[in-house]
Amino acid sequence: MEHQRPKIVDVARLAGVSTATVSRVLSNPQVVSAETRRLVEEAIRQTGYRLNLAARNLRHRRTGGVVALVPNLSNPFFSQILAGIASVLAPAGYNLLVADTRAEGGESLLAYAEPSRADGLIVLDGSLPAEGLSRRVPVVLACEWIPGLAAPRVKIDNRQGAVMAVEHLIELGHTRIAHVAGPPGNVLSEARLAGTEQALAAHGLPAPRVFPGDFTLESGRRAGAEWLAVPRAERPTAVFLASDAMACGFIGEVQHHGITVPRDVSVMGFDDIELVAHMTPPLSTIRQPREAIGRHAAQRLLDRIAGDDRADDTVLPVELVRRGSTGIVAETPV
């Protein structure tokens, strides 16, 4: 008879009711009498009817979905944030979709900021253009943020985290402390660098030697190579890197050249990704509450969707995690 996908009128016909009633059974069952409801449900089962979302979305002018824009899915750092987001969104009836801003062309990203595609947007990438994003769907910024954009931000105190990291090194007796920065222009890079400088200055120590980096493993490795190239007597005895991934690259490189951590150099990371607890030595780092960041971001977005237009910031606490990669400064320089 009908090879096509059944529509709501097919169900209605079979159940002997109008399409309106079928629709009510679907989205507002309690207004339909028990008997009619049973009839309709049976008809739905028999026809194998499935709702067409495009049609519902068109009528409702909403999509029931939220899109998260992530700079780089390969960074395990983001996945736990996404889990936190999903844990809040799912009970609220929204589903989460993730798009990688690196993988997709820059232009096409704005396509996600359409009310006809998503009801809201959680942006985890600070390098997106502000102008395209405003005036479209509700947006919340998490972790990174976009300077020009008035939207709620959920973040950590990056500067304070850096201060804690550097003070930990200072407590261990280090005075020549280097920093490996994140990508230039990135808001996180800048805050962490500023915190580093602030902590050193507060303790009367000279400004740090800064090696360039971009948060990636490979850039950490290069920083390691640069550190090795510094004459031994001048080498920083401690290095604070702006991401755990870079710290991994750094440690791998210097260990490969016979350096022992933390005897020859103490290393601090930032993020506390799962892996670094299992390295040899385990990495000392600054823990970000990733799950909580995700949960708060999702909650703020739900608020915004519900009409709350405040654009205030949520700042979550970080935590110093002392592990084996940092130690007291060597008594006798070899």
Q: How far is the CB of 66 from DNA (least distance, A)?
A: 19
Question: Tokens 């026809």 identify what position?
Answer: 47
By a kind-dependent CB cut-off of 5 to 8 A, residue 212 interacts, out of DNA, its own copies, none, with none
In DSSP terms, which residues pair with 95 in a beta bridge? Answer: 65
Contact 165, 331 (CB under 8 A): no
Q: Establish if 108 lies at the interface with its own copies (CB under 8 A).
A: yes
Binding mask 52-71 for its own copies (x = CB under 8 A): xxxx-xx--x-x---x----
By a kind-dependent CB cut-off of 5 to 8 A, residue 207 interacts, out of its own copies, DNA, none, with none
Contact 237, 230 (CB under 8 A): no
Q: Which stretch binds DNA (CB under 7 A): 57-65, 91-99, 102-110, 271-279?
A: 57-65
Contact 18, 40 (CB under 8 A): no
Q: How far apart are CA 281 and CA 270, in angstroms?
A: 15
Contact 96, 82 (CB under 8 A): yes
Q: How far apart are CA 63 and CA 56, in angstroms?
A: 8
Q: Establish if 59 lies at the interface with DNA (CB under 7 A).
A: yes
Contact 205, 174 (CB under 8 A): no
Q: Establish if 21 lies at the interface with DNA (CB under 7 A).
A: yes
Residues 36, 79, 134, 160: which binds its own copies (CB under 8 A)?
A: 79
Q: Which stretch binds DNA (CB under 7 A): 6-14, 128-136, 232-240, 292-300?
A: 6-14
Residue 178 tokens, joined = 């280097």
Residue 291 tokens, joined = 């799950």
Q: How far is the CB of 322 from its own copies (least distance, A)?
A: 16
Task: Tell me how long the chain is.
Answer: 334
Half-sphere exposure of 5 (CA within 13 A, CB side): 3
Residues 32, 43, 133, 302: which binds DNA (CB under 7 A)?
A: 32
Q: How far is the CB of 132 from its own copies (least distance, A)?
A: 12
User: Which C-beta is closer to DNA: that of 57 or that of 72?
Assistant: 57
By a kind-dependent CB cut-off of 5 to 8 A, residue 26 interacts, out of DNA, its own copies, none, with DNA
State the DSSP H helix or E strand holding residue 180, giving kind and residue range, or none if neither: strand 177-180
Q: Establish if 134 lies at the interface with its own copies (CB under 8 A).
A: no
Residues 22, 43, 78, 318: which binds its own copies (CB under 8 A)?
A: 78
In DSSP terms, which residues pair with 123 in a beta bridge? Answer: 69, 141
Q: Establish if 137 lies at the interface with its own copies (CB under 8 A).
A: no
Question: Tokens 């009633």 identify what position?
Answer: 21
Phi, psi of 90 (to 5 degrees): -60, -50
Q: How far apart are CA 200 and CA 9, in angstroms?
A: 72
By a kind-dependent CB cut-off of 5 to 8 A, residue 237 interacts, out of DNA, its own copies, none, with none
Q: How far apart are CA 232 and CA 223, in angstroms?
A: 15
Residues 12, 82, 124, 302: which binds its own copies (CB under 8 A)?
A: 82
DSSP label at 101?
Answer: T
User: Which C-beta is closer to DNA: that of 16 or that of 333?
Assistant: 16
Q: How far apart are CA 266 and CA 278, in angstroms?
A: 17
User: Which C-beta is closer to DNA: that of 137 or that of 297?
Assistant: 137
Residues 38, 42, 46, 58: which binds DNA (CB under 7 A)?
A: 58
The residues that touch DNA, with contacts defined as CB under 7 A, are 4-5, 7-9, 16-21, 23-24, 26-28, 31-33, 35-36, 49-52, 55-56, 58-61
Interface residues with its own copies (CB under 8 A) are: 5, 50-55, 57-58, 61, 63, 67, 72-76, 78-80, 82-83, 86-87, 90, 95-100, 102-105, 108, 111-112, 114-117, 217, 221, 245, 248-249, 251-253, 255-256, 274-275, 277-280, 282
